[in-house]
Amino acid sequence: MSELNKRKKLLVIGAGDFQLPLVQKASETCDVFLAAPVISEAFYPYIKGRLLKDVRDEEAILTFAKDQGIDGVITDQTDIAVRSVAYVSEKMGLPGIGCETGILFTDKSLMRARLAELGIPQLKNRTVSSVDQAVGFYRELCRERQEKQALSDAAKAQETSNNTRNNTGYNIGDNRGDNSADAAKSETSSALPPVKVIIKPLDTQGSRGVQVCADEQEIRKKYEEASRWSSSREVIVEQFATGREFVVESLVLGYEYRTLCIGDTLYFDIPDAFAAKSRIFPTTADDALRRKVLELDEKIIRGFGLRQGITHSEYIMEGDEVYLIETAARGGGVFISSDLIHLSSGLETEQFLVNIALGQQKEMPVIHPQLQYCGYMAFYLPVGRVIRADGIEKVCALPFVHRNQLSKLHAGLENREGATDKTSRLAVIVSGKTREELEANMQEVRNTLQIEIQSPDGTVTGPIWE
């Protein structure tokens, strides 16, 4: 067989539900090798060899990759394999993003440092290595706010006093003696809500350890959990933003940037469960706001020096400003990369990823502006045992339902933890010609799924959709 026609050997790192589409597609043209701690039977028909190791075990994966003589290495929809992919490709001289960029895109503290270098505004934040430092930063934020409030109160008091003078022709403050400022203060200053911060590990995913704190005690109580998930044990303490959230997927080839799609992120109403109940493309934001987010996305991705790949970036608003939460050098999880990018832009995402890993993508692929509406909808199971799981086949047969995780659901399934990190969600990808149609289709999925869970105390409930 000529060198040209020989099947290339591709190593994929990570073997969760969301890497299956990549492995399936890659197996059509390549011999696929897989490295992950657990590899389910679903992958067996598509792979030629496997290594059962933690996806972060760079040395073991490199040795395996050399032994197999791989021609390329890639991952998708997971952050924890990104550094190993960068490492193996760099060490073997294969196409990749380089270790340094791999680390930048997987360390939220380095991301913030780079934003500062690029002059891009960010939410107030600090990376700390002890709970006392975290509390110290929290106190700084409280002090800053108090000072800001005092200034604004003083300005209001001045205005009130000016108005009084103007209205009455004389300064009634004269009769109040030294109490005027205090009186004005009590009129203008309202009780301030507590300063809120979010604490998070530097390098996990799935919102593990991410928690909101509204006072010092809460920081002291929750700090250890955030630190536990951080490989350096360091924690980011960040001003808590309250605005809407966006998700942007983009494509990079030879350092050239293209937006693929921009969507809205909607959350479950569960405390400290920073998991999206749905992500919907395209966003409902008006053109000006959409442009603002996308210009920021391009500036960041270019500024971070990504050579190639799909990116997944999350943004949050505070007031009129848009801020980066995090960016990743791989496509969005929960089938965003495999399904929602394709439904939105027409890109054959997996083929693109295989091509860049092998250095075969010479030209910018065609990217369509938003072809249709689409999104994922996800639900949690409450603690208990599933006693009814009907309608799954019906849902899967619906023409507007795409990839999903419903095959995991069956009567008898036990949910002991009632965990609310993102990895214990089950998701369904849905599309529609219009936003209204998408919403109606999502409703139909909810109505068709007949799921009942019996809790340990005997009560029967449905899945958690909100």
Ligand X SMILES: Nc1ncnc2c1ncn2[C@@H]1O[C@H](COP(=O)(O)OP(=O)(O)O)[C@@H](O)[C@H]1O
Q: How far is CA 186 from CA 32, 149, 180, 382, in A?
A: 70, 13, 10, 47
Using the rule CB under 6 A, is 210 a contact of ligand X?
yes
Residue-by-residue DSSP string for 222-248: HHHHHHHTSTTS-EEEEEPP-S-EEEE
Residue 127 sits at φ, ψ, to 5 deg, of: -95, 125
Question: What residues are paired with 72 via a beta bridge?
Answer: 10
Q: Which span (245-253, 265-273, 310-318, 338-346) binds Mg ion, by CB under 5 A?
A: 310-318
In whole angstroms, how close is the CB of 312 to Mg ion at the nearest point? 9
Task: Identify what 315 binds: Mg ion, ligand X, none; CB under 5 to 8 Å per kind.
Answer: none
* 353/341 Cα distance (integer angstroms): 13
Q: Which residue has the tokens 């270790």?
A: 99
Q: Please state, in angstroms and as integers, the Cα–Cα distance from residue 272 to each residue in 123, 352, 420, 466, following that order.
A: 19, 36, 8, 14
- Cα 321 from Cα 346, distance rounded (Å): 31
Is residue 240 at the binding interface for ligand X, with CB under 6 A as the rule?
yes
Closest approach, Cβ 399 to Mg ion, in A, equals 31
Indicate which of Mg ion, ligand X, none lies near residue 123 (CB less than 5 to 8 Å, by partner kind): ligand X
Give dist(CA 322, CA 262) in Å, integer: 14
Q: Which of residues 297-326 bind ligand X (CB under 6 A)?
A: 314, 316, 325-326
Beta strands 211-213; 256-267: pairing state:
unpaired
Can you give the three-state secondary structure of 329-358, one letter per residue?
CCCCCCCHHHHHHHHHHCCCHHHHHHHHHH
Minimum CB–partner distance for residue 90 and ligand X (Å): 24
Residue 250 to residues 263, 295, 328: CA-CA distances in angstroms? 12, 12, 10
Stretch of residues binding ligand X (CB under 6 A), selected from 14-22, 38-46, 155-163, 240-248: 240-248
Minimum distance from CB of 314 to Mg ion (Å)?
A: 5
Contact code string over 255-294 relative to ligand X, x by CB under 6 A: -------------------x--------------------
CB of 177 to ligand X, least distance (A): 45
Structure tokens, 217: 């005690």
**Minimum CB separation from ligand X for residue 70, in Å?**
28
Q: 73, 65 in Cβ contact below 8 A? A: yes
What whole-number distance in Å separates Cα of residue 133 and Cα of residue 220?
11
Q: From the list ligand X, Mg ion, none, which binds 350 (C-beta under 5 to 8 Å, kind-based)?
A: none
> By CB under 6 A, is residue 241 in contact with ligand X?
yes
For Mg ion, give the closer residue by CB, 228 or 433: 228
User: Per rule CB under 6 A, is residue 204 in the interface with ligand X?
Assistant: yes
Full strand arrangement of the beta sheet holding 309-318: 321-328, 309-318, 245-253, 256-267, 276-281, 373-379, 426-432, 401-404
Q: From the CB of 325, what's the least distance to Mg ion, in Å?
A: 6
CB atoms within 10 A of CB 180: 18
Residue list 41-60, contact with ligand X (CB under 6 A): none
Q: What is the largest CA-CA distance in the chain?
A: 102
Stretch that binds ligand X, among 2-10, 204-212, 254-262, 397-405 (CB under 6 A): 204-212
Task: Map the footprint of ligand X across residues 96-125, applying CB under 6 A.
Answer: 108, 123
Measured from the CB atom, is 77 or 355 closer to ligand X?
A: 77
Q: Which is nearer to Mg ion, 297 or 314 (CB)?
A: 314
Options 183-191, 236-244, 282-290, 454-462: segment touching ligand X (CB under 6 A) = 236-244
Residue of the chain from 20, 35, 157, 198 that contacts ligand X (CB under 6 A): 198
Lookup: tokens for 109: 């503290």
Identify which of residues 111 and 453 has a Cβ nearer to ligand X in the complex: 111
Instruction: Give me 108's structure tokens.
Output: 């939220």
CA distances from 285 to 195, 244, 280, 310 (A): 28, 10, 12, 23
Between 358 and 377, how does the x/- string for binding to Mg ion read (CB under 5 A)? --------------------
Position with the least CB separation from ligand X: 274
Answer with the entry of ligand X, Mg ion, none that 425 interacts with (C-beta below 5 to 8 A by kind): none
Of 185-193, 209-217, 312-320, 346-354, the segment contacting Mg ion by CB under 5 A is 312-320
Residue 274 contacts which entry, Mg ion, ligand X, none (Cβ below 5-8 A, type-dependent): ligand X
Question: Which of 138, 120, 141 minimizes the C-alpha distance to 327?
Answer: 120
Smaller CB separation from Mg ion, 36 or 275: 275
Would you say 31 or 314 has its CB closer to Mg ion? 314
Task: Report the nearest approach of ligand X to the CB of residue 46 (Å).
Answer: 28
Residues that bind ligand X (CB under 6 A): 108, 123, 198, 200, 204-207, 210, 238-241, 245, 274, 314, 316, 325-326
Residues that bind Mg ion (CB under 5 A): 314
